[in-house]
Amino acid sequence: MPPTPETCVWFLRHGASTFNLQHRCQGCCDEPELTPQGREGARLSGERLDLEGIQAVVTSPLRRAGETAAELLNAIRAHDRAVAFETDTRLREIELYYWEGMPLEEIRRRFPEQYHDWRLRPETFRMRLTGTEVQFPVRNLYARVRSLWNDLLTTYAGKSILLVTHGGTIRALVTSALGLGPAHFHSFQQSNCGLSRLRFSPLSSQARLDLLNDTAHLGERLPKLKEGRQGTRLLLVPVDDPLPEAIERLGTALEGVAIDSLLVASPAARIVASQLFSSPVDSCAVVSELPPDTDVDRLLYQDSGGQLKQIAILGPPRILRCILRQQLRISGSAAKSLDLRPLEITFVHRPGSGAPPSLQAMNISKPSPALVGV
């Protein structure tokens, strides 16, 4: 009997919506619809996924997700493949009640304490609906997606499926699959039409995240900064036994990227760094090899002066996972579930000003025009 194949779950956030354009809170509000840019992003996402062997598409019932699914299904079904399609109400976005429809700036102004909890303590964030009814939106979302996971992994075992849903829902699905709870709701980023992927082995219940927030198919290459162009961005590059063609591809991806500091964590990483940064910018400082037990927070601390500083760190995957564990405050088992691919780039943004670090994207190997000249 042939072995049972792994289950592959793709995630796609809906395309840019009218509320995204207007900087308004969406939540479960069904008023927003796709913009022309959002429809184009959905079409490009379908082209990107056309050869990935998607066998089923499951979508949120909200209009912006349904419109995204309709656009991309045209591309996925272009070769007359049978692709199952269904809607699941558990894929709707987080419920934010009286915030929905409000401009984000108005929410920050009218509800400063609530907004502070939403950003920094999502596990305790609550909304009082009446004199006696209190809801915990993030906790509620995690309870909902845990129920969804139980059904999905049974129904689609051994298949490749695509979930078309929302940014908050994807973050809850990914973090819960990695064994993380509501406190990590903002630890991962998900852009409009950004693609992420989890793999589940039939021999283990442990998920592996091997792609996060890939927007290369949109021509962006790198997701936009959510917290503004400030703080520090880490570019983590795993180095094992590098092949020349892989180094060349990485060099193309890093071409024109402004690196303020460069750290290496192994002799092999030093060799790769010397090939990639043979003519570093004047401000680029090459630091001696990075010991595994380094206090990364202390090493990376620097005053950005209100500007964005970028630090490239090259080293073995185990050391980079330690850095991710420290930065994101995640468990060791969750860090092991991050399947870092050699000579591809993983981005962490440390915005400062009290905002927590976030994993922006993972395993990106395409050129990044959005970074050129930063």
* HSE-CB for 166 with a 13 A CA cutoff: 29
149 and 192: one domain?
yes
pLDDT at 294 over 70: no
148 and 282: one domain?
no
Does the residue 287 lie in any domain?
Answer: yes
Does the residue 153 lie in any domain?
Answer: yes
Could you give the 3-state DSSP secondary structure of residue 33?
coil
Q: Which of 67, 71, 93, 344 is catalytic?
A: 93
pLDDT at 302 over 60: no
194 and 251: one domain?
no
- Domain termination residue (choose one: 218, 243, 258): 218
Comparison of pLDDT for 271 and 13, the residue scoring more? 13
Does the residue 226 lie in any domain?
Answer: no
Does the residue 2 lie in any domain?
Answer: no
Q: Which of 14, 166, 184, 186 is catalytic?
A: 14
User: How many Å apart are CA 69 and CA 64, to the nearest integer?
Assistant: 9
* pLDDT for 324: 94
* pLDDT for 247: 84
Residue 14 annotated as catalytic: yes
Q: What CATH number is given to the structural domain containing 328?
A: 3.40.50.1240
* pLDDT for 161: 97
The pLDDT tens digits of the residues spanning 336-360 come to 999 999 999 999 999 887 788 999 9
247 and 367: one domain?
yes
- Domain termination residue (choose one: 197, 218, 239): 218
Does the residue 223 lie in any domain?
Answer: no
The answer to whether the beta carbons of residues 162 and 8 sit under 8 Å apart is: no
- Domain termination residue (choose one: 163, 197, 218): 218
Number of domains, the chain: 2
The pLDDT tens digits of the residues spanning 14-67 come to 999 999 999 999 999 999 999 999 999 999 999 999 889 999 999 999 999 999
Does the residue 1 lie in any domain?
Answer: no
* pLDDT for 113: 95
152 and 294: one domain?
no
170 and 251: one domain?
no
**Sign (positive/negative) of CA torsion 37, 63, 359, 343?**
negative
Does the residue 355 lie in any domain?
Answer: yes
pLDDT at 222 over 80: no
193 and 261: one domain?
no
48 and 69: one domain?
yes
* pLDDT for 125: 97
Residues spanned by the domain of 343:
231-371
Does the residue 225 lie in any domain?
Answer: no
210 and 282: one domain?
no
Q: Kindly report which listed range (16-20, 99-103, 282-286, 365-369) carries the lowest average pLDDT score.
A: 282-286
137 and 211: one domain?
yes
DSSP state, 34? B
198 and 263: one domain?
no
pLDDT at 267 over 90: no
The pLDDT tens digits of the residues spanning 160-215 come to 999 999 999 999 999 999 999 999 999 999 999 999 999 999 877 689 999 999 99
* pLDDT for 89: 97
129 and 203: one domain?
yes
DSSP for 69-104?
Answer: HHHHHHHHTTT----EEEE-GGGSPPP-GGGTTSBH
Measured in degrees and rounded to the nearest 5, phi and psi for residue 155 equal -65, -40
